[in-house]
Amino acid sequence: MSKIVLVLLLIALSLNIGLPSGDCLEEERLLDKYVIYATLIERNKTLLVQETVEFRNKYNVKLKELCFHVYSNAPQFRKSGSLLIINYIKDLNTTQYLNYTLGGIDGTLLVVKLPRPLSPRETKIIKISFSLKIPVRRDRFGYYDDIYALGTWYPILAVYREDRGEWNRAPYYPHGESYNFDFANYDVYLNVSKNMIVAATGVKIEETIENDRKIVHFKAECVREHCIVMSPKFKVKSKKITIEGRTVEVSSYYIPEQEYEGEVALDTAIYSLRLYSDLYGPYPYPILRVCEVHGWFGGMEYPMLIMITSYLYSRERREYLELVVAHEVAHQWWYCIIANDEGEEPWMDEAFAEYSGVLYFEFRYGKSKFKEIFRRTVIDPFYRYLQRNEDDISAKSVWYFGDDVYRYVNIIYNKGACTLHMLRLILGDELFFSSLKKVYREYKFKKISIKDFTKTVEEATGRDLDWFFRAWLYSRGIPRYSIVKAVARGIDRKYELIIVICQLNPDVNITMYVPVTIYGWYGVKYVKLIKVEGSESKAIIKIPFEPRFVRVDEEDVILGKDNSVLVPVEIKYFTLSREEVQVQVGSLLLLILLDLVLFIRLSKRGTVK
């Protein structure tokens, strides 16, 4: 590299445009910085790359090596024609060439040996020169039918686990995500043919055209990773919106034949951005791009950019297109901003994104549409899964599920979304959403774990919810509830209703609040949450109307195939003991005596005629 290019690199590393805002980290100077120059050779689908990384040791240990994930070198991509060639790795502080190994479980771990240990708060700038052939593959990293999808394609720093004393060495997980990256700043310069339409993470700073080529410069700050999607066929529609005083430009990239669906994707993304900003906290970035790609998946999330598979871009699949776009937009909060480890705790982002996707339908189209979509896409698939499979623990890593994609999707996505819906029922809307806002405030641009989440919800609500999270995140088994007795005693139009509920699954021993619907005459209906502990519980409820029937979990909010039939209420009017009769008669006689005294006094005054 020439001295002029090196100077430009160092200047770019020092620039700070202030994206997304000044609240990224308490110490922004600890953010890693990437400057990437990539030239795409279209004829052989190869990237020629010069990547410079400025790493400041934010850990409290001396580091003898730096570790990078190179997920583009995973076996799945190599089998489809991907080829990574590292030319050299150089220490720009000393101009020394560094030794490295590319290995790990699946060949995706790049370990760079440092000439001497790097002390805490000390900075190291290294340059990685490499070429990368893009595989012909319908995937988040691949090329197919003129669309390039470049997700997690470059060497990206791993996270050092101080609690374990080692770098995170997670391999690539093809059925979901194993990603766990620190927040960083990016300057990416992409040299492509001038007819290429490029979408990427970050703000487009500049586009320079020279002859038949152009260089596009994207800048992103405080993001967990960087992604590029591009095609010479793309059409783009954009709209600027305002979220809490900040302008956000939302764009949809699609192929020309699918303009209608491209507009639907744009409209859905805009509504989702506004909705989740209200429910969770304001979207902090200035850009969001929705990109059509060819993929085996429904959608894929990256900071400021989401991929949506071309299969969903059809009028008959509009509803699913909206659902997937809303799901992926939700990941901007759950993973991109509130930063979980997707490999170790996929529940912490996928359950929230799945539930958010259905919330989109509730807030946009109403409760009945929410119930329909939730039933069709979440509850019924989970019940079908349970017909031939066992329930499992949600707080598990992707490695626990391995290649069992069916189990992974149902336990993490479907059961996860149901768990959040049950939590919402128990807390009520106000407490539920205020808890999520507190999670956003406390973990915005920070790492979060499931335990961090549960602790924050308990703090926000002032409740001990260990019983709930223990049952639905850390236990196996789905309960089944049935009302075995319903008796009401009434006097003077007031009733005391006694309900006995049994939990029918012998393998389950949990505490749960179960909704019971009480039906009266003339359409009167009342829902009461009843605490059920163990196999049987009794509840006494006072109501101001005569109950006719009761039904457990009428809307199937609590997971499990309950015996949700109408149970007639046996009415028994109060019978009094001899002592109670004496008290009642005495009280009546006293009232009569008081009325008589009052009448006599009024008569003497002449006020009674």
* CA–CA separation, 443 and 75 (whole Å): 34
Mutual angle of helices 347-365 and 415-427, in 10-degree steps? 60
Whether 556 and 562 have beta carbons less than 8 Å apart is answered as yes
Band (454; pLDDT cuts 50, 70, 90): very high
In the three-class reduction of DSSP (H, G, I as helix; E, B as strand; rest coil), residue 323 is classed as helix
- Give pLDDT tens digits for 461-483: 999 999 999 999 999 999 999 99
Amino acid at position 587, single letter: S
DSSP letters spanning 386-452: HHHS----SS--HHHHTT-HHHHIIIIIIHHHHHHHHHHHHH-HHHHHHHHHHHHHHHTTEE--HHH
Largest interatomic CA distance in the chain: 119
Q: Which residue has the tokens 């990384």?
A: 53
Segment 310-315 mean pLDDT: 97
Single out the residue of 186, 193, 417, 416 nearest to residue 304, CA to CA: 186
Q: How confident is the model at residue 560 (pLDDT cuts 50, 70, 90)?
A: very high
Query: Rounded to 5 degrees, what are φ and ψ at 495?
Result: -130, 145
pLDDT mean over 89-97: 97
**520, β-bridge pairs:** 547
| 8 Å CB contact between 348 and 336 | no
Contact assessment for residue 46 and residue 131, using Cβ atoms and an 8 Å cutoff: yes
- Reported as a single tens digit per residue, the pLDDT across 97-113 is 999 999 999 999 999 99
**Coil, strand or helix: which one is 301?**
strand
**CA-based torsion, 160, 217, 124, 25: positive or negative:** negative
CA torsion through residues 54, 59, 60, 64, sign: negative
Higher pLDDT, 606 or 26: 606
Average pLDDT over the chain, rounded to an integer: 93
Quote the pTM value: 0.90
Q: How confident is the model at residue 31 (pLDDT cuts 50, 70, 90)?
A: very high
pLDDT at 519: 97
Confidence of residue 576 (pLDDT cuts 50, 70, 90): low
SS3 of 341-357: the string is CCCCCCHHHHHHHHHHH
Amino acid present at 325: V
Find the angle CA(409)-CA(477)-CA(506) to the nearest 5 degrees.
Answer: 160
Q: What are the angstrom distances between the C-alpha of 535 and each of 279, 500, 515, 561, 567?
A: 36, 11, 16, 16, 19
Cβ contacts of residue 101 below 8 Å, gap of 6+?
A: 110, 111
What does the block give as tokens for 202? 């970050």
pLDDT, position 594: 75
Q: In what order do the strands lie in the sheet with 494-503?
A: 536-543, 494-503, 481-491, 570-573
Q: What is the pLDDT of residue 572?
A: 86
Determine the Cα–Cα distance for residues 181 and 186; give it in Å rounded to an integer: 13
Task: Tell me: cis bond preceding 20? Omega within 30 of 0 counts.
Answer: yes
Residue corresponding to tokens 């979440």: 378
Tell me what the mean pLDDT of segment 57-69 comes to.
Answer: 97
Tokens of 310: 């071309």
Please count the helices (runs of H) and the strands (runs of E) in the chain.
14, 33
CA distances from 515 to 113, 414, 527, 532, 566 (A): 59, 21, 6, 10, 14
How high is the pLDDT of residue 12?
A: 41
CA angle 126, 169, 400 (to 5 degrees): 155
What's the whole-number mean pLDDT along residues 84-109? 98
Pairing of strands 83-91, 96-97: antiparallel
Name the band, by pLDDT with cuts 50, 70 and 90, for residue 2: very low
pLDDT tens string 147-177: 999 999 999 999 999 999 999 999 999 999 9
